Structure 1
Amino acid sequence: MRKLMILLALSTALSACSSSQLGGTDSVSDIKVVASDILPEPTRLDLFEQNRPYLIGPFDKLTIDVFGIEELSKQEVQTDAGGRISFPLAGIIEAAGKTPGELEEEIEGRLRGQYVRDPQVTVNLKETVSQVITIDGQVREPGLYPVIGKMTLMRAVAVAKGTAEFAKLDDVVIFRTVNGQKMAALYNLKSIRRGIYNDPEVFANDVVVVGDSQARRLFKDVLQAAPALLTPLIYILQTN
């Protein structure tokens, strides 16, 4: 009965903020609370987002060419578990988290002058095992990060160097597309740390927003309506 009353209160609060902006782009016309405390996993099609820049991750296979230098052309390399590669004359390079273009610039910088007058490097992705998530809000280093193996919300925050000093740990939102439907879930990092509920898994193309941000303000009325919730809240976002 208590959960039903909370859901009714949340539905009222959510309808009041239906004209808010999600991430400054999508206009939300209808928000529905789901009677579940588990955010569904994305489908295989949901995991492949064509508009996201690709970030190199551990165990990716790359082809690297240095124009005009046969010994440095068509070099096939694979990043190690830490996302590093070894390239002739350039040494060990931290490739994880870089785009292919950024890695090209890194190699050119190491070769320029001492070994090659004006190096022109091309990096192509041959095979990948990693995809990316977005971590935003009150973390020390917001940005795009590779998803390697099974990653949870707590691990994702740790990858972004942890939360900021005054971050709102009880206001953490995961945005996800499930079978083409945009969804969101509200979590409390304090509750996860205390073992009140499980640390949820995050997937490629998820957007994690920690604490106060433009995207999280969509749910400010929810937090006011039920500030003491001890389970995650799952929403379906209907967009125009």
Structure 2
Amino acid sequence: MTPRLVCFLVLSMLTLLTVGAWAGDNVVEAGDRVRIIVLGADDMTGEATVNSEGNIAIPVLGVYKIAGKSTEAAATELAAIAKEYVKQPSVAVQVVQKAPTVVLVSGKVQKPAAYVVSTHSSLLEVIGLAGGVADNADLSRVSLIRSGTSTPETVNLQDFIDGKASATNPVLGNGDTVMVPEKVTTLGVVFVLGEVRRIGSFELRAGMRVHDAIGQAGGITDLADPQAASLKSKDGDPVKFDLTKALAQDPTEDKVLSPGDTIYIQTVAGTFNIYGAVNRPGSYPIKQSMPLTDALALAGGYTARAKIQNLRIIRSSQQQSIPINLADVQMKAESVAVMPGDTVVVPERGDKPSIWTIIGSIGSLGWLVWR
């Protein structure tokens, strides 16, 4: 066999290897097993598995990042690198074994688990591998989280099953996560007001109870009064219930809700409000009375811009607005008391008047202006 014929046969083999890789999915991914052939350089020829960072180690040539590249592009780049060691190198790259595609399936399927699937498996095929959907599954809101991302995309697989033209049945990749949600039957809304973390209206589901609605509202605040909670139906009067028992899911107090119900949780008796130039404005519990300095400490103290000569205590029980010069109080070691229901306002220093809105039972709502 002449040298020219040998060269022709080897080049033909390289072409077939490369074309074989191009014929299918020729983009290399982490976990793939690849074969590198460098004509005339046996020490550079061999197989390697692409690591999690997308690299392979090639003798003599070193570490090469191959993931995300086609076999053709990788062969061209490796030939350029090999020129340092081989005169006019010919390089072929072939994917000899694709990495296993692992998909996690959870939610309302018969057999939630991680599955090894074939390349180009569709969402519907993978759900089939998981035994199909369970009762009450909602295929119109299937959640798909692609590998390397944290933001789910919603796929309406029911539309695809129904044959709608705009529907999709996406192909899954290695590391993707599928979650089939439960079908939710919304009966209306309920309202949760008062001392909860998220006041508002919430979807009512079948069998939903008081503790469920409060949970959707983020739970109760530290100022919630367990003895002053009420449940009002859409057309009825408020009925008090034991909040502690309801949250413990005692069925005598944890009632099943109906559309339009309103849960109201009152503030614990004995609180005061503090607003303005303090570090933590808000409402705080108080039993009988406390020194103004202690009230300020509860609110994290006053800020650097506080105008401490012009504090006000709004005493709703007596419809009073009491001016306080905190500098004098501190200098003379006097004690100014804050009472339950009081509102303490700490204005900020500045050239312009400071305007505060005082909210609460203070006789009349409105604006207070300090100069």
Q: TM-score interval w.r.t. the shorter chain?
A: 0.3 to 0.5
In terms of Rg, which structure is larger? 2
TM-score by length of 1: 0.38
Which of 1 and 2 has higher RCO (CA within 8 Å, sep 6+)?
A: 1
